[in-house]
Structure 1
Amino acid sequence: MVNNYGNYILPFTIYATVITFMLSPVGITAKLRAVSFWVVAIVLFKLITLLYRKNSQRFFNLLVVLLMVYFGLTISSYFVPGFSSFLNGRFKGIMGNPNGLGLLSLFCYALLGLIKDKKEAVYSDQFFRRFKYLLIFLIILTGSRTALFSVLVYEVIVRLLHKKALMVFYLLLIGFIFTFINSVGFETLVESAGLTEFLRIDSIKDASGRTEVWPVAWAEINKNPWFGQGIMYDNYFIDDYVERYFGENVARQWGGVWSSYLSLLLDVGIIGSIVYTLFYIKVFKKSSDKKLALGFLSICLLSGLTESWMASSMNAFTPIMFLYWAIQTQNTQKTA
């Protein structure tokens, strides 16, 4: 009998569902969204286990093909007449949102690294290398600073753990680079490199307006910090706040909370956030490749700083997160 590690999210689902039933002003949709965390997890973990154990090579080949099709369509959208594939100078492809495409490319970057590490797909190392370069190129086109920085952190972690003999050298190099940037000034370096417009240096300090939203969300969190107000309360609160204080003419940053951690605290409080963290701890312990798992964990944590994807199961990112951990927790030795 094979354990379904998707059940590791069950304690969080139970807690979130109870809190949502008791405190949420949203309605039945919020209750269903709470339950969907567990449903999506157990379905994906079970499906991946079945496909992996039946024919792991076919499964990985199919997964790579699906990624090629999606990103092929994304790139092709640039050449479709009349289709707007850019938003304010940033590539959005068929995703419709530059930051969304950046994060999706980021998650798939780590997923490709895991598939390559399994060495069961028919594709060569050169193919995976070029595919990952393509994803980095897409991330650059989207202008997603969070995704780009997360890729760098991922690579540093994986390479440090892969070549432990060079760890001291890498750490010294990172320390030197950090000291150099700190002494010269980040803005000066960006300006001298001609990347001011690309990195949107003028909006870095306020995180593209997010710093206006975060204090408002934090003040609301303090009203019920331990338990939260139920799944989807973060969106409900921001929509209500905008309606009361801004009306229809509102800046883009007021379209959400823009932080998974603040969203989780609004929805399920400190207790729920701790229970949610236990899922990551448990699947990490079960992962087959700890260095890649740690790299992916860093991606999840960093991307959560400026995006609220963790607080929902019905988006493009949480299912990929479940997919990644489902593959990581498969035994290296297949059993009948």
Structure 2
Amino acid sequence: MATMKFEKIASAGDILRWLVLLSGCALSVKLGFVRAGRSKGTIILPDRFIIMFLYIFLASAIWSILPIETALKTISLLLLYVCSFWTLWEYTDSISEAVIIRNTLYILGFVMTFNLVYGIFFEPASLMSSRFQGIFENPNNIGLVLGLALPLVISRWLITNHKLDLTITIIFLVNLLLSGNRTALFAFGVAIFFIFRSLFAKNPIQAFFIPTAAIIFLEQFIQTNFFAEKILREDTLYTAANRTYFWELAQDYITNRPDFGHGFGTEGLIHNYYGTSLYALKLRGHGVMSSYFGLAVQIGWPLTYLFFGLLWGFAVFCLFAKWRNYQLVTLAATIVSGLVIAIFEPAIYSAGNCFSFLFWMVLMLAIRRLYYQKLSLKDTTIKLVI
């Protein structure tokens, strides 16, 4: 709702998204911070890393260019962490990983179906003549969430063969192609490669013929005018739609404070702080248009390397060390998709958007699955199998 172009709905969404996070945290407090039927407040290694970074983010208020903003942004991430790694974890233990993923995808399927219907009846010209945004304020909002949702729904369809999963897959693909989001399409391609690689161990015939058919279709598709004009957009390809100019600015800012940055949550303020006019430079966008450069602006390069190194390290470990574990690989591939998208979007550390909510939920599910398998928990109350 907060990303829609309708002012009243977006304003309501701005408030409701925080009520969702606050309600989730309140529920976790009521449950007593219990996960998997274990003792209250059980902290595992990933929790320790996340809490460490939350302390670092809050501590950066000491040298922040706007301490209040740093404190508020840190609190928002704390809410997201509690909702993802405590409330949703316990909820997943109750209903199963498969159900929480299914429900999430079905809700998104409804939203994206409505998005297409709206476009067909109210903005039919935008479907083909420009980047389609439908009910959203920006076409990139479509790419942000579908870059994570598509690997999940295709993975489900490959195992369940449900027609509804296939229908949602098609709806997601149509929305994404019409939006012309190159980053999400590339990230999705990376994720789907690892998913089919893992599927090969389960069903080699399916893992061979479906990608082969997709490659044949793709070979024809990239030769169309639609691909050239709406997706490739060669005139903006070299600068990544002007993002490289933002990255040059980011490097200048980081040079001034390379070790500890300007304080967490200050990315959106950094241009004004240095007197840079994006309007004069004819640039549009938030922050420095990259989660990697953005975090370095906020907390410096050393901690940024550690932050993303841990995320990439975990995902790569799951993809290669556990490559036969199809469900875990699906989650890890989705994380990789999100990390690729984060190169071009300042979204991964913003608690109030649907990308970060879905990303950290998937990360929680991957950590949860690996943790339970390590403990060899096969109790029927902890349902892991899709």
TM-score range, shorter chain: 0.7 to 0.9
Match of 2:255 among 222, 227, 235: 222
Alignment partner, residue 181 of structure 1: none
Alignment partner, residue 201 of structure 1: 234
Aligned-partner residue type, residue 335 of structure 1: T
Match of 2:78 among 29, 38, 43: 38
Deviations 1:90-110 (A, max 9, x none): 111222111121121111113
In the TM superposition, residue 212 of structure 1 has moved relative to its aligned partner by: 1.7
Change (3 A) 1:12 1:275: farther
Which whole-Å CA distance do the structure 2 matches of 1:116 and 1:54 have between them? 23
Alignment partner, residue 89 of structure 1: 130
Q: How does 1:72-111 map to 2 (within 5 A)?
A: 72-79=113-120, 81=122, 89-111=130-152
- The alignment status of 1:213 with 2:259, answered yes or no, reads no
Deviations 1:172-203 (A, max 9, x none): x99xx9xxxxxxxxxxx96x643332221111
Q: How does 1:158-307 map to 2 (within 5 A)?
A: 158-163=195-200, 193-194=224-225, 195-198=227-230, 199-241=232-274, 244-246=275-277, 248=279, 250-253=281-284, 255-277=286-308, 280=311, 284=315, 289-307=327-345
Alignment partner, residue 68 of structure 1: 109
Alignment partner, residue 141 of structure 1: 178
Moved more, 198-207 or 281-290: 281-290
What is the TM-score with the length of structure 1 in the denominator?
A: 0.78
Which whole-Å CA distance do the structure 2 matches of 1:60 and 1:303 have between them? 20
Alignment partner, residue 186 of structure 1: none
Alignment partner, residue 365 of structure 2: 327
State the secondary structure of the residue aligned to 2:256: coil
Structure 2, unaligned stretches of length 5 or more? Answer: 1-37, 216-220
Change (3 A) 1:252 1:100: farther
Change (3 A) 1:131 1:209: same
1:162–1:291 contact (8 Å) kept in structure 2? no
The sequence identity of aligned pairs, in percent, is 18
State the secondary structure of the residue aligned to 1:310: coil
Which whole-Å CA distance do the structure 1 matches of 2:68 and 2:350 have between them? 15
Which whole-Å CA distance do the structure 2 matches of 1:223 and 1:161 have between them? 45
1:85–1:94 contact (8 Å) kept in structure 2? no
Change (3 A) 1:61 1:162: closer
Change (3 A) 1:65 1:302: closer
Which whole-Å CA distance do the structure 2 matches of 1:63 and 1:219 have between them? 40
- The alignment status of 1:131 with 2:168, answered yes or no, reads yes
2:131–2:139 contact (8 Å) kept in structure 1? yes
State the secondary structure of the residue aligned to 1:90: coil
Which whole-Å CA distance do the structure 2 matches of 1:283 and 1:247 have between them? 36
1:9–1:276 contact (8 Å) kept in structure 2? no
Deviations 1:121-150 (A, max 9, x none): xx7533222312221111110010111111
What is the TM-score with the length of structure 2 in the denominator?
A: 0.69
The CA RMSD over aligned residues, in Å, is 3.6
State the secondary structure of the residue aligned to 1:311: coil
2:132–2:139 contact (8 Å) kept in structure 1? yes
1:231–1:311 contact (8 Å) kept in structure 2? no
Which whole-Å CA distance do the structure 2 matches of 1:126 and 1:222 have between them? 53
